[in-house]
Chains A and B, each alone.
Chain A
């Protein structure tokens, strides 16, 4: 079921979007070009961030400190049934999307994207958000400082996502 969904999602969306465009008598190729140009711009804007953060992770790993940190966190992570290699990724995910991407790509490079760790990391990155970044921009924009139950709620949802990722990747 899940494999079937994985195969169907992208073709279905492409089919649906193009179908809607043709039915609405839109100049679909021009629309596509405009969007593709935006996509290129997004990549161009993300690239410097990627270079900066991937080199930082590269330094951290080459020095051996990343493994040391992982070993330190292995014990508390074991209580939560979280693989030690995913602990830095989970923590960094809460504050920065791009830094977490750097860590994830490091896992891909080391264990491969199809390994259990690579798969769990991919799913986890897809089903969680940068909790503290989101809270600060949204509440900052309206000058709300008493956040009530937002932080526990957001962390609860994130924890559910992480647990689901590990369970789904293990199947």
Chain B
């Protein structure tokens, strides 16, 4: 994808420059941008290194584990069809918390592991090519962006002479809350529309199905707690 996009940008720019007779400006633009990119890299180096260092301190002190543990009630609300000992829950929690902290390197492997666990849960998992409801919820949430502190954005703004580079953090948090809320609402609506259990539970055998229904009942009080927890945190 990027191959086409990138070559399109350069080729189209060159052709347009040729057509409008501004080829020297195009060459100048190329040289200037390359220089700009290196200056930007130098500014980023300081901020990014410091931030990654601080995150690593927290990570090794167990912040990720602690947060993942705290995620459990929220996961119960988002994935009501997964029993609370489902193997996918741990990687999902790690993926989400790592995303919140902006630890992309920890988030992706956990996310792929979660997808694998969710796949094995579905009916006829070896050949099945259809996404289960859990997969859809997980992916939509992931794409809605969960990152709480977009530190690279602060670095970019610093480089371009912003008076207050951190000013983006509050609005970014509010906007992230909006997109994540939209994602949750969409998933819940889609569940109601399509019948959440359909693809992951209906085709499982009898006893397993009963077990899941028992689990569901166990989860119900948790759901209310999760909601209180969520709204409480939003207000902060």
Contact = CB atoms under 8 A, between A and B. Distances in A.
A51 B37 contact: yes
A63 B140 contact: no
Interface in A10-38: 10, 13-14, 16-18, 20-21, 23-24, 26, 28, 31-38
B58 A158 contact: no
Given A43-B45, A96-B1, A156-B186, A18 B57 contact: yes
B143 A135 contact: yes
Interface residues of B, number: 100
Nearest to A146: B130
Contacts of B169: 5-6, 9-10
A72 interface: no
Contacts of B136: 147-150, 153
B45 A114 contact: no
B179 A128 contact: yes
Contact of B145 (A1, A126, A135, A137): A126
Interface stretch (B23-31, B213-221, B222-230): B23-31
Interface in B28-47: 28-30, 32-34, 36-38, 40-41, 44-45
A46 B37 CA distance: 11
8 closest A-B pairs by CB:
A35-B56, A62-B29, A58-B33, A39-B52, A17-B58, A161-B179, A160-B182, A36-B53
Given A35-B59, A39-B51, A114-B162, A55 B34 contact: yes
Interface in B137-164: 139-140, 142-145, 147-151, 153-154, 156-157, 160-164
B78 interface: no
A134 B26 CA distance: 33
Given A134-B139, A137-B108, A160-B182, 15 more contacts: A2-B174, A6-B168, A6-B171, A21-B61, A52-B6, A54-B40, A62-B26, A99-B9, A113-B165, A127-B179, A137-B112, A138-B139, A144-B128, A158-B179, A165-B171
Interface of B is mostly: helix
A27 to B, nearest CB: 9
Interface of B: 1-2, 5-6, 9-10, 12-14, 16-17, 20, 22, 25-26, 28-30, 32-34, 36-38, 40-41, 44-45, 48-63, 105, 108, 111-112, 115-116, 118-119, 128-131, 135-136, 139-140, 142-145, 147-151, 153-154, 156-157, 160-176, 178-183, 186-187, 190, 194
Interface in A86-137: 92, 95-96, 98-99, 101, 104-105, 108-109, 112-114, 118-119, 122-129, 131-135, 137
Contacts, number: 360
Contacts of B186: 149, 152-153, 156-157
A154 B10 contact: no
